[in-house]
Amino acid sequence: MLVLSARPGAAFAGWRTLLTAGIAALAILAGATYAQEPEPASEQTAETDRVADAERMAEEALNEPSEKPAEPAPPPAPKLPSLNLLELAMSGGVLMIPIALMSFIVVLFAFERWLGLRRSKIIPPALVTALGQLAARPGGLDPKQAYKLCQQFPSTAANVFRAVLLKVGRPHSEVEFAVKEASEREAAKLYKNVRPIELAVTITPLLGLLGTVQGMIQAFYVTANMPTNFNKAENLASGIYVALVTTFAGLTVAIPAAILAHYFEGRIQSLFRDVDELLLELLPQLERFEGKLRVQRPAPAVESEPRAEAQPATTSK
């Protein structure tokens, strides 16, 4: 019984092992067969399309021009506000008024000195010609006639030469002193209207600096006491550029004024060098009268034109 009962179990185990091996063999065979089957037509078409796209992209890359395409233009810069000089000058404060006044003075006296320092007004050509003709006469220069010519052509050169004629007959040292004194007196007259221009050169930058200091103090004071929710940097920048307006205005007036003052001073010096050269040519004509003749300033008379009178010659022995 034991033998008979064991046989069917052993037989069943053998059959189960054989069945398992057969199923595994069928699975391996089915996998191999599936691996050997061709891919579907749709997958082949997709692969072909991918290859074609790759070839087309390669051809386009080869045929692409070497130059790079133009880059797009950058966006336009924001337009900054422009300064209005009139509004800027009005915002400069009260000190812009004296600066404007000084600019008016500079223009006024510059125009006056441009007219007053003309050569024809300082050294009239008619006076120079008449004195030359008088000195070329056989008897030489006549002090009386020369004095009348100086009265006929009033000018700086005539005033200096007339002062010399009043010293005719005196020692040569007195004549030279008279020339120096008359030249300094006439030069002071010519420099008189240059001094306001020189004053503008000194004053206007100081007025501008004073306005700037005042504006800076005000700007910092307002910024320091401003609430925290306000833009302090913007307010400070606005106050500083407004404060600098007076300095800009002062320098704008002072720089041209300095140039004009320097030009007029050089012009006066040049004209007086010409006056000295004229006197050097005429003084030798007067040396022969030393100790013999003196020309006095004529006393006020009824006639409209003053006359030069000669005093009797006095000789000291």
**Residues whose CB is less than 8 angstroms from the CB of residue 162 and which lie 6 or more positions away in sequence, other chains included:** 147, 150, 151
Element (DSSP H or E) covering residue 263: helix 232-286
pLDDT score for 200? 93
E strands along the chain, which residues? 294-296, 309-311
Spatial separation of the C-alpha atoms in residues 267 and 189, rounded to whole Å: 14
**CB-based burial of residue 204 (10 Å sphere; 0-12 exposed, 13-18 middle, 19+ buried)?**
buried
pLDDT score for 129? 87
pLDDT score for 303? 43
- The per-residue DSSP string of 230-252 comes to S-HHHHHHHHHHHHHHHHHHHHH
pLDDT score for 68? 54
pLDDT score for 60? 64
pLDDT score for 59? 63
pLDDT score for 298? 52
Q: In the chain, which stretches have pLDDT less than 50?
A: 1-8, 32, 34-39, 295, 299-317
pLDDT score for 111? 94
Q: Which residue's entry shows tokens 């009824």? A: 302
pTM, entire model: 0.61
Per-residue CA distances from 127 to 17, 133, 165 (Å): 155, 10, 15
pLDDT score for 302? 42
